[in-house]
Structure 1
């Protein structure tokens, strides 16, 4: 398993987790992976970016509903639902990226996939409800009510995706030893703390 320092960022929708990761990677001069993982997986699966995006961080309980394995041996990946192929492909990409060098990766069960990597720093970003609603309303140009509904929907999908694939509790201290509330300390201060952690890990 990789010895490179990887910052894994789980996040509530609207908490600013993407922005934390982007700023941190820029400040450290290391690669940042979030939505670009979608296009990377789409290329390997030979599907469109639009199709891949509709599957990103969404899970289907294929063992119970969309797939029934009657053989004793492991099923071929190509026989699995496309959503599961997407997860497996992204998982391989994430592990390969961690092997290549230090980076910041947002979401997609990265903390779990790299759980055996001693230098994987697992972080979860959250925020107060009103701050998240305000950020999403401004970002998408929608009403606060629609922003609140969107946050509820996206977080439910992320929670199910994470817990379905890991068997762990999304956003818990057990899976994310470092939790930051951006409503309390702000995005820039979270970036500063993580920059310090990275430098300690790399002895810089």
Structure 2
């Protein structure tokens, strides 16, 4: 248990959740943990970052009987001769342990990785979910990845499907619901800057309350 205030951010793909996390981290001067959790888990498991990234926020490994792990210039197949635990499960468990340890150190922000569920026993967590309208998400993904409209929408649907399946498989909760995340912000209505302003105000109010 920790007295530090923790922010968790779930997000639709293309909603601006990562940018919101970054801006909020700078505004509040507290660390942000997002993709860097992948490299931390990879070091913990002694696998390559590329291998961990392949199953990050997916449950791919649950449906395969063999798992490919890239290590340097070699490809190692983890099959029935291994401990039988899917790589996706190993990465999830490693990230869960890391999230718990980081939360105990002090205030910080976690993006994705079921952090709201993993830190469910912590009373000082602000759990949020970022959404946005389809058109705004498509424009954002087109710009970031240099895709056309159809390609962007296909990528959004794929990523949302993977995140939803991953979250619900590990938590038993409905991804993107108010009951799971506590606070929902529509970046299309508020703008990325508006969401950051609102979350900063909530954080500072939370920090100033009597504990």
Could you tell me whether the CA contact under 8 Å between 1:61 and 1:164 is conserved in 2?
Answer: no
After TM superposition, list the pairs within 5 Å mapping 1:1-204 onto structure 2: 1-60=1-60, 62=62, 79-203=84-208
Deviation at 1:168, TM superposition (A): 0.3
Could you tell me whether the CA contact under 8 Å between 2:41 and 2:94 is conserved in 1?
Answer: yes
Could you tell me whether the CA contact under 8 Å between 1:33 and 1:104 is conserved in 2?
Answer: yes
Q: TM-score, normalised by structure 1?
A: 0.91
Q: TM-score, normalised by structure 2?
A: 0.88
Deviation at 1:186, TM superposition (A): 0.4
Distance 1:65 1:49 in 2: 20
Distance 1:176 1:49 in 2: 28
Count of aligned positions: 194
Q: More strand per residue: 1 or 2?
A: 2
Distance 2:84 2:10 in 1: 29
Tell me: CA distance 1:96–1:78, structure 2 relative to 1, closer, same or farther (3 Å).
farther
Runs of 4 or more above 4 Å deviation: 64-67
Tell me: CA distance 1:40–1:78, structure 2 relative to 1, closer, same or farther (3 Å).
farther
Per the alignment, residue 70 of structure 2 pairs with none
Q: Give the gaps of 5 or more residues in structure 1.
A: 68-76
Tell me: CA distance 1:78–1:35, structure 2 relative to 1, closer, same or farther (3 Å).
farther
Distance 1:192 1:106 in 2: 17
- Secondary structure at 1:179 match in 2: strand
Q: Give the gaps of 5 or more residues in structure 2.
A: 67-81
CA RMSD between the two structures: 1.7
Tell me: CA distance 1:140–1:65, structure 2 relative to 1, closer, same or farther (3 Å).
closer
Tell me: CA distance 1:194–1:26, structure 2 relative to 1, closer, same or farther (3 Å).
same
